[in-house]
A and B are shown apart, each in its own frame.
Chain A
Amino acid sequence: MSILQEIKNAVRSRSIHVSYVDVGSCNGCDIEVLACLAPRYDIEQYGIYVHNNPREADVLLVIGSVTPQWVDKLRDIWDKIPEPKVAVAIGNCPISGCVYNRRGTLTEPPAENYIPIAAQVPGCPPRPTEILNAILSVAPLVFKDYEEKQR
């Protein structure tokens, strides 16, 4: 393994930039993501920074059951994120649609149909610790030795 790769690994493990996208959620999961930023859970001590800009993100948190307006736009956001990237589905909604997946509702779950989802955090809403654990466990799987794996 090259030294450059090792440096990249070290840097990437301490600087995970997260962007979240709300594709029609009830705001329950948004609040749980927000709670991760609070001193009690303090997501930044693990080197995770939350932005709302996909162009500087590594991890995309998908929140909400996909509404028809988001069907094409979710893919656009995913394409804007530079490689290496990973998408995490937060909550039941992007996984199954949860309580919104009924006749007569304007939702088109799951989010997997539109972008590749690497990890799913079930719960309605999930606990902040569960979100934190999911990001911390999925990020090294994708970002470690990324350039080596590409060859």
Chain B
Amino acid sequence: MRSIVYYVREFLRPEWLKKFFFAKTAPLVTPPYFKDYPSRTEKECTGCFSCMMICPAPEAIEVLRRKDRWEPAIYRGHCIRCGLCVEACPEDVLTSGRILDVTRHDGTALRSWYRLQVDDTLCMRCGNCCVSCPINKQVDPQLAGTGTSSSDEVIMRIEGGRVKILHEEKCTGCKTCEIHCPNRAIRVARMVEGVQGEEAEA
């Protein structure tokens, strides 16, 4: 009998009734390590466009020219919060979650270079790519017309009736050759590789 009275009294407490009928878990808070949309730090953007080049989502990030400085802008509804722009930025202009801490701790970085590829079945050996290349022009001012060159220091030249790529590492990725190729035979691809340790510091 006493126990029944005890239970009835226990269950008639207003706090208990409120808890029972209006039970709600507290709204969950976003943890501080959540990789949210990248936000800007106070560091200055140099306008190298590394973030724009690595972004996998179309139109998600843009580096805009303000009056006297560059400024990366993230567009919600396009950004997929992958955090690659944060990792790619050499100046740590963007931050998101603890990506910067982790990359600093692990000593990781992204290394990029450009790869030139000529499709021999499409190439008609006009030499437009060799002639239009601004780096080629600097190295060998004599290079003109057919695209042949006596210099070994040019990025590419016509050799034996076909394009030969000599110094891929000199390419700056301007894609002038791609624009001037009448057959879309030459392709410039930006390659990115994750590196760690000594390589990352170099």
Contact = CB atoms under 8 A, between A and B. Distances in A.
A92 B80 CA distance: 8
Contact of B25 (A45, A95, A98, A120): A45
Contacts, number: 45
Interface stretch (A1-9, A49-57, A66-74, A121-129): A121-129
Interface in B37-87: 56-59, 76-81
A132 to B, nearest CB: 8
Contacts of A133: 27
B77 A92 contact: yes
A133 B30 CA distance: 12
A22 interface: no
B19 interface: no
B181 to A, nearest CB: 19
Contacts of B24: 45-46
B1 interface: no
B28 interface: yes
B77 A45 contact: no
B77 A127 contact: no
A96 B28 contact: no
B80 A99 contact: yes
Interface of B: 23-25, 27-28, 30, 34, 56-59, 76-81
18 contacts: A45-B24, A45-B25, A92-B80, A96-B77, A96-B78, A97-B58, A98-B58, A98-B78, A99-B57, A99-B58, A120-B77, A122-B77, A123-B81, A124-B57, A124-B81, A129-B27, A132-B27, A133-B27
Closest 4 interchain pairs by CB?
A124-B80, A95-B77, A122-B76, A122-B77
